């Protein structure tokens, strides 16, 4: 250990050399190298966490850069986990960085999580959150949870007993997952770039407190933060009911963690070129399910706007077109709309969702 590198921590009253040694011995897994993961990873690496694992199967895109501060314009198209690992290793050559360029699923998460002491969930979808929560509860791994949306963020620590009552888990807050499209993520709802930086840094502080055994970590509590007012408050989490938490590996493997990365049978995800082909048919209707305030505004002579907030009423109406193409900003709400139409019409109509939405296909899309 280089005492000079960590000098300002070691000389801090209430921290000291023993706490620094505990950081160097710790193994921390960060799931998601995005807006929350980037600042979190930087501060963990700088603080001297000895072994840091990074899980992410995504590549860097231009829309990431306003908040995912480990990456530059030159990194667009590269794997996040590879770029992040390289930068972190350059920051601190005395620690180990382990790359996991995969998507966590039931068949691999238990093996990966079992290798680490502390788990940080920085994902942005509910399927992953429940999967990670249940795996950590089964393996008795402390879980630090962070989430952001719009101008607000949340932070909590699960599965770490406070010696006064049994530990809580994510399902005590949200017993069952919401329906697809019911709650938009930051890709749909928007996010101001500094917010995940603030929450990610807070999460790093909580991990350091847990490892070094200092302060009062947010065990069995959830912190709510509002960037617009700089107000925050903390509430205790009580044990809930109405959910099933797997108690064995077999029970875990039999749980249903629905993966939204792949559409179920019945509707088809298409790209922009396929959309243009379908558009030529008189039997095709193009439906924009974004809300009315969202941009860019599409040509209303070509695209029918049916916001998701009004989609229930639309389902009660009949239309003659056989081919239905659903479009949204990022291809998330359009999947939910496609499923709803598929449930109503079955094989009577051909249902399509524009994969990646307007943002991914913007240039081609707006010319069509």
pLDDT along the chain (368 residues), means of 10: 87 94 97 96 97 93 91 91 96 96 91 96 91 95 94 93 71 81 62 94 97 93 96 92 89 79 64 87 92 90 92 87 92 88 86 89 65
What pLDDT score does 31 carry? 97
Whether 246 and 255 have beta carbons less than 8 Å apart is answered as yes
Q: Is the same domain home to 144 and 87?
A: yes
pLDDT given at position 259: 53
In a domain, 260, yes or no: no
Q: What is the pLDDT of residue 39?
A: 97
Q: Could you tell me which of 360, 348, 182 has the C-alpha nearest to residue 266?
A: 348
Q: Do residues 122 and 75 share a domain?
A: yes
Considering only CA atoms, which of 144, 142, 119 is closest in space to residue 55?
119
- Please check whether residue 258 lies inside any domain of the structure: no
Give the pair of three-digit tokens for residue 247: 């108690």
Residues 107 and 246 in one domain: yes
In a domain, 342, yes or no: yes
CA angle 58/275/80 to nearest 5° reads: 10
Domain co-membership, 277 together with 187: no
DSSP state of 283: T
**Whether residue 182 sits in one domain with residue 137:** yes
Residues 114 and 193 both lie in one domain: yes
CA atoms of 105 and 103, how far apart (whole Å):
6
How far apart CA 119 and CA 133 sit, in angstroms, is: 10
Q: Is 2 contained in some domain?
A: no
Q: What is the CATH number of the domain that holds 24?
A: 3.40.50.720
| Residue 178 structural domain | 7-253
pLDDT of residue 133: 96
CA–CA separation, 104 and 31 (whole Å): 9
From 158, 130, 126, 127, select the one nearest 145 (Cα to Cα): 158
Q: Which of 107, 84, 266, 290 is nearest to 184 (CA)?
A: 290
What is the predicted pLDDT for the residue at 344?
A: 87
Cβ-based neighbours of 242, under 8 Å, separated by 6 or more:
175, 176
User: Contact 225/232 with Cβ under 8 angstroms?
Assistant: yes
114 and 192, same domain (yes or no):
yes
Q: Total structural domains in the chain?
A: 2
**Same domain, yes or no: 282 and 245:** no
15 and 122 fall within a common domain: yes
């Amino acid at each position: 250990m280089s005492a000079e590198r960590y000098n300002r921590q070691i000389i801090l009253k209430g921290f000291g050399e023993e706490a620094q040694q505990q950081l160097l011995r710790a193994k921390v897994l960060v799931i998601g190298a995005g807006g929350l993961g980037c600042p979190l990873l930087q501060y963990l690496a700088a603080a001297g966490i000895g072994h840091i694992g990074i899980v992410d199967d995504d590549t860097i895109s231009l829309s990431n850069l306003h908040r995912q501060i480990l990456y530059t314009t030159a990194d667009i198209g590269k794997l996040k986990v590879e770029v992040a690992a390289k930068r972190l290793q350059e920051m601190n050559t005395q620690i180990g960085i382990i790359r996991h360029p995969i998507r966590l699923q039931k068949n691999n998460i238990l093996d990966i999580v079992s290798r680490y002491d502390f788990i940080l969930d920085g994902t942005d979808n509910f399927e992953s959150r429940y999967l990670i929560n249940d795996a950590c509860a089964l393996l008795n791994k402390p879980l630090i949870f962070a989430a952001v949306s719009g101008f607000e963020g949340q932070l909590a620590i699960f599965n770490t007993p406070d010696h006064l009552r049994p530990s809580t888990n994510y399902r005590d807050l949200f017993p069952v997952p919401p329906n697809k499209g019911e709650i938009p993520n930051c890709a749909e709802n928007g996010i101001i770039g500094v917010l995940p930086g603030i929450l990610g840094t807070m999460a790093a502080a909580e991990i350091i407190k847990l490892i070094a055994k200092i302060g009062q970590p947010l065990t069995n509590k959830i912190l709510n933060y509002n960037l617009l007012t700089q107000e925050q408050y903390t509430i205790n989490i009580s044990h809930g009911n109405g959910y099933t938490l797997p108690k064995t590996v077999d029970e875990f493997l039999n749980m249903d963690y629905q993966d939204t990365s792949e559409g179920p049978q019945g509707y088809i995800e298409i790209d922009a070129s396929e959309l243009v082909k379908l558009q030529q048919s008189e039997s095709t209707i193009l439906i924009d399910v974004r809300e009315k305030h969202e941009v860019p505004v599409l040509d209303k002579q070509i695209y029918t706007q049916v916001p998701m907030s009004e989609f229930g009423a639309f389902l009660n109406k009949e239309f003659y077109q056989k081919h239905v193409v659903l479009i949204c900003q990022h291809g998330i709400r359009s999947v939910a709309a496609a499923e709803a139409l598929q449930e109503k019409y079955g094989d009577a109509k051909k249902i399509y969702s524009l994969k990646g939405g307007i943002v991914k296909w913007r240039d081609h899309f707006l010319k069509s």
